[in-house]
Structure 1
Amino acid sequence: MAILVSRVTRRSRFGSSLWRRSAYAFAALPAGLASLTGARVQPALAHRLLDVPSARPGRFRTILHALLSLPLGVLSLLAGAYGWGIVVLNLFYPARWLIGMGGSLRDAWGGPTLAGAWAVHATGGLVMLLLMPALMKGITTLQARLMVRVIGRADGTMGR
């Protein structure tokens, strides 16, 4: 089991790229809303966190991209919050009682003991932890492609 986890984590790239992509997933919606005013917040954020080589767009393209990227921003925020929430809440299952989320262990999956409930929930948390790099990469790749397609690249060419 340890060898399998080691191989999966090495391939999944748990590193700065994952955390930058996760940060962008959380910040994409607020940055998109700010970009609706014509401010270049979202392109600057994508350049900084995702290394998207975008041009300095004009006001029209900035607003157009902000409008088109709103559904992806909502999706990325929900997927990131839900996914990372599952990871944290399930891996640290006993801490739920500290934040008022406790309940009866008789009704918990893996209950009626804390050890059984924690084992079942931690397994789900580990599975989600292994899926999060792929989920974050997929969503932020879609966002980066949309940005290049609408705004263009730094060399003046439009993305395909």
Structure 2
Amino acid sequence: MPWWKLPFTGEPYRSSLFLLLSVPLAIWALVDRGAAQQRVADALLSRRSLLSRVRGLAAVPVDLVALVVAGYCWTGVLLNVVYPIRPLLGMNGEYRDAWGGPSLAGAWAVHALGGLGFWLLVPWILRGYVALWRRIAGA
């Protein structure tokens, strides 16, 4: 697959959802031996995994790091694309000293281009975390 096609597929968004759910599912793996985690992984990642209590818990450190990275990445994309509404979110809305300033249009254009560029990069970052998770899970 060409590098630029990945953000237009459903894979990065299913991966993001799985990484979001993976920590609670790993904790729940103590109760059901990883059955729920396996069903969700099969549905969202389209791969059969060999999960157990130990493998589910072994993935928790990777899950926590991936959750923080995915949250940071998607937040960065969103906040850069919708740059003008930052003051509504309690962030600094001063655009005169921002990249692309002194006009709001210039600042928004520069931040939106950065956000779109980051949007092309985020799926590849998440793909690496999912590959590591699959390796731990035995998929």
Question: TM-score scaled to structure 2, two decimals?
Answer: 0.86
Could you say what secondary structure the match of 1:36 adopts? helix
Other-structure match for 1:44 = 39
1:28 aligned to 2:18?
Answer: no
Assess if the C-alpha contact under 8 Å between 1:87 and 1:129 holds in 2: yes
Same amino acid, percent of matched pairs = 36
Per-residue deviation, 1:71: 1.0
Q: Which blocks of at least 5 consecutive residues in structure 2 are unaligned?
A: none
Other-structure match for 1:144 = 134
**What does 1:8-87 correspond to in 2, within 5 Å?**
8-10=3-5, 12-39=6-33, 40-55=35-50, 62-87=52-77
Per-residue deviation, 1:93: 0.5
Q: Distance in 2 between the 1:123 and 1:17 partners?
A: 23
The one-letter code sitting in structure 1 at the alignment partner of 2:29 is S
> What RMSD in Å do the two structures reach over aligned CA positions?
2.0
1:133 aligned to 2:127?
Answer: no
Q: Distance in 1 between the 2:13 and 2:114 partners?
A: 21
Could you say what secondary structure the match of 1:139 adopts? helix
Deviates more, 1:79-88 or 1:111-120: 111-120
The one-letter code sitting in structure 2 at the alignment partner of 1:103 is G
Q: Which has the larger radius of gyration?
A: 1
Paired residue total: 137
